[in-house]
């Protein structure tokens, strides 16, 4: 937002809130100061006069306050504001949350470049001779920065459009209605710099609160996400061991990279960095990668990573990580070995970002085992009547953006239940988030899934298909990959779950997601027209095969 837009916005806001003026202004024009150590922070411009100050004071009471501006928080906030509520959002970092600024968007922007690397390498298969190519990492980093800035700006402009008050500060729940917003002393990623060597915080035009401020919300939404957690075996302050964010913002691609943890992030990073020419070793304590997926998917991903040159070590217990050295025990051979790399990235998991004791004191139940806030599935209400939670802090959901967004909507529907039109009421359309939210693992080629795989395969029929009969795949030469489906035995046959590995997986999975969400039978799908030749046709072809009415498509029945 330009300086003039910002001024216009703040003055409009002043007009709107003047009836209730009683506190500190959360959103101010910004000025920059430098504090010790050369680190730059933003401070609110001081008011020119007491009258000026009074004029700028907005209200501090809101119908809804969301803590955290990630997909969960901003969805709940924007939707509540659209439904006429007065809304504030508190964020201790950049607007958009981890997803926009440090996770999904930057990672996927870089993966977009890695995909091109792969296409260039395979160009000969398409009769195009590209004799040489060079990976220019600084330009890849610039693309990443632009993508992040654009998406962050989108979120900000919606917060502004709906007059949502933004407080940049650390929220602390005082009781079921009051939140203390404390000023941020150091941003979470203060030591991260963009492709131009600037702190991303420099380019932000929302200013942190300067003094601790108490705000009051009739309803509160906890959407504080998760934080990286380093396991005890990583030496404290080891400069060579980093989390995913610090790896992505490294100014160069490390020549050698050790990844600890072969889950979603570990595999995505392995696929990305091996294509960017890093020599990657991936360590996983289990006997296979991607434990959350079906074994066939794990094996496919492992084989593809190996083709890219990744060294995959399974069944290993990492004992110590220090200065780029990883000491690990091979559980099968019972030997201890050492690996050395320029960087070690820790992908072993993240922990929810909230204070257990504080929540307990207020009466909000926390599921100790999964360390998530407990909520009602259809409203996301916590054990406290006016407090809701959504996104990664919530127990009933996997840590994916579609879940966070969907839960943000559920929160808004619950808070604004008298304001929503009948069609929006969840009772009109029962969708279980856990079983209907599709997810994508951005390895190359992608992996995707939706639904809950039945615990016992005897309870269902299991089918698998490859893409060899799909005409788009034949035309494009993209035959590698498969679809696995878990289908009900009862008639009419319905899908329990689908997992797939293919170049087109991220797009195709939406169809399977809709089929499960809308509770369509396979017979229903067979009636739908699909365009030709497309990868999405494979959805209908797969359903036809399961029902024994395949015209051209061959699959396999597995049980």
Burial class (CB within 10 angstroms; exposed 0-12, middle 13-18, buried 19+) of 130: exposed
409 in active site: no
Q: According to CB under 6 A, which one of 58, 73, 254, 445 is a site residue for ligand FAD?
A: 73
Catalytic site residue from 133, 502, 523, 532: 532
Burial class (CB within 10 angstroms; exposed 0-12, middle 13-18, buried 19+) of 427: exposed
Q: Is 97 annotated as a binding residue?
A: no
Residue with tokens 């991220």: 506
Q: Which stretch binds ligand FAD (CB under 6 A): 311-319, 397-405, 416-424, 490-498?
A: 397-405
**End-to-end CA gap in the chain:** 58
Nearest distance, CB of residue 100 and ligand FAD, angstroms: 7
Quick one: 156 or 540, whose CB is closer to ligand FAD?
156
For position 58 contacting ligand FAD by CB under 6 A, the verdict is: no
Q: Which stretch binds ligand FAD (CB under 6 A): 221-229, 308-316, 357-365, 412-420?
A: 221-229
Q: Other C-beta atoms within 10 Å of 417: how many? A: 13
Residues numbered 509-528 forming contacts with ligand FAD, rule: CB under 6 A: none
Quick one: 17 or 223, whose CB is closer to ligand FAD?
223
Q: Is 408 annotated as a binding residue?
A: no
**CB-based contacts of 481, cutoff 8 Å, min separation 6:** 300, 445, 466, 467, 500, 501, 502, 503, 505
Q: Which SS3 state, helix, strand or coil, does residue 339 take?
A: strand
Per-residue string for binding with ligand FAD, 347-376, x by CB under 6 A?
Answer: ------x-----------------------
If binding means CB under 6 A, how many residues of this protein chain bind ligand FAD? 36
Question: What is the distance of C-alpha 174 from the center of its chain?
Answer: 29
For position 412 contacting ligand FAD by CB under 6 A, the verdict is: no
Q: Is 266 annotated as a binding residue?
A: yes
Quick one: 59 or 92, whose CB is closer to ligand FAD?
92
Phi first, then psi, for residue 209 (nearest 5°) are: -70, 145
Nearest distance, CB of residue 441 and ligand FAD, angstroms: 8
Q: Which SS3 state, helix, strand or coil, does residue 425 take?
A: coil
Q: Is 23 annotated as a binding residue?
A: no
Nearest distance, CB of residue 448 and ligand FAD, angstroms: 10
Which residue, among 336, 7, 353, 319, has the nearest Cα to 160 in the 3D structure?
7
As a whole number of angstroms, the distance between CA 138 and CA 196 comes to 9
For position 406 contacting ligand FAD by CB under 6 A, the verdict is: no
As a whole number of angstroms, the distance between CA 122 and CA 191 comes to 38
Q: Which stretch binds ligand FAD (CB under 6 A): 51-59, 69-77, 492-500, 522-530?
A: 69-77
Around 283, how many Cα atoms within 13 Å sit in the side-chain half-sphere?
Answer: 27
Sheet containing 325-330, strands listed edge to edge, beginning at the edge strand earlier in sequence? 316-322, 325-330, 335-340
Quick one: 85 or 95, whose CB is closer to ligand FAD?
95
For position 92 contacting ligand FAD by CB under 6 A, the verdict is: yes
Residue with tokens 């017979």: 523
Binding positions: 261-268, 284, 349
Query: Which positions lie near ligand FAD, rule CB under 6 A?
Result: 67-73, 90-93, 97-99, 103-104, 107-108, 170-171, 223-226, 244, 265, 353, 391-392, 399-402, 404, 439, 442
Positions annotated as catalytic residues are 532
């Amino acid at each position: 937002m330009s300086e003039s837009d910002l001024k216009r916005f703040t003055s409009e806001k002043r007009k709107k809130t003047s009836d209730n003026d009683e506190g500190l202004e959360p959103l101010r024009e910004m000025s920059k100061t430098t504090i010790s150590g050369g680190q730059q922070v933003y401070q609110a411009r001081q008011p020119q006069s007491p009258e000026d100050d009074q004029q700028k004071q907005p209200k501090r009471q809101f119908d809804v306050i969301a803590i955290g501006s990630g997909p969960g928080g901003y969805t709940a906030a924007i939707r509540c504001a659209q439904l006429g509520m007065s809304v504030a959002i508190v964020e201790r970092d950049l607007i958009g949350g981890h997803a926009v600024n440090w996770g999904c968007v930057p990672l996927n922007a870089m993966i977009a470049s890695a995909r091109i690397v792969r296409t260039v390498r395979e160009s000969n298969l398409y009769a195009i001779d590209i004799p040489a190519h060079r990976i220019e990492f600084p330009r890849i980093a610039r693309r990443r920065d632009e993508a992040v800035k654009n998406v962050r700006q989108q979120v900000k402009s919606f917060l502004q459009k709906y007059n949502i008050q933004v407080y940049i500060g650390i929220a602390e729940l005082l009781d079921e209605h009051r939140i203390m917003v404390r000023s941020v002393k150091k941003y979470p990623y203060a030591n991260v710099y963009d492709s131009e060597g600037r702190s991303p915080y420099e380019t932000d035009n929302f200013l942190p609160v300067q003094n601790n401020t108490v705000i009051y919300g009739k309803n509160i939404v906890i959407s504080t996400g998760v934080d990286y957690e380093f396991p005890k075996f990583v030496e404290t302050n080891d400069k060579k061991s980093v989390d995913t964010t610090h790896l992505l913002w490294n100014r160069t691609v490390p020549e050698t990279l050790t990844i600890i943890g072969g889950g979603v992030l570990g595999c995505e990073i392995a696929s990305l960095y091996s294509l960017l020419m890093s020599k990657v070793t991936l360590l996983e304590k289990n006997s296979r990668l991607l434990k959350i997926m079906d074994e066939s998917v794990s094996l496919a991903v492992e084989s593809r990573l190996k083709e890219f040159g990744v060294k995959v070590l399974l069944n290993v217990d990492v004992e110590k990580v220090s200065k780029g050295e990883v000491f690990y025990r091979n559980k099968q051979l019972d030997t201890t070995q050492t690996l050395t790399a320029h960087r070690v990235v820790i992908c072993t998991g993240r922990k929810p970002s909230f204070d257990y004791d504080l929540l307990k004191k207020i009466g909000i139940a926390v599921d100790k085992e999964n360390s998530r806030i407990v909520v009602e599935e259809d409203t996301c209400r916590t054990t406290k009547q006016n407090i809701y939670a959504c996104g990664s802090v919530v127990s009933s959901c996997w840590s994916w953006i579609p879940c966070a967004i969907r839960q943000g909507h559920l929160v808004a529907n619950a808070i604004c239940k008298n304001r929503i039109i009948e069609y929006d009421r969840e009772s009109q359309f029962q969708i279980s988030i856990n079983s209907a939210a599709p997810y994508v693992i951005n390895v190359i080629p992608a992996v995707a899934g939706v639904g809950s795989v039945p615990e016992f395969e005897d309870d269902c029929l299991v089918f698998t298909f490859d893409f060899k009969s799909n005409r788009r795949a034949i035309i494009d030469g993209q035959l590698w990959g498969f679809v696995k489906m878990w289908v009900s035995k009862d008639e009419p046959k319905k899908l329990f779950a689908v997992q797939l590995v293919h170049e087109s997986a991220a797009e195709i999975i939406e169809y399977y997601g809709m089929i499960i969400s809308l509770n369509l039978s396979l017979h229903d799908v067979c009636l739908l027209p699909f365009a030709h030749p497309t990868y999405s046709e494979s959805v209908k072809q797969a359903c036809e095969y399961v029902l024994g009415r395949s015209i051209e498509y061959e699959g396999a029945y597995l049980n």
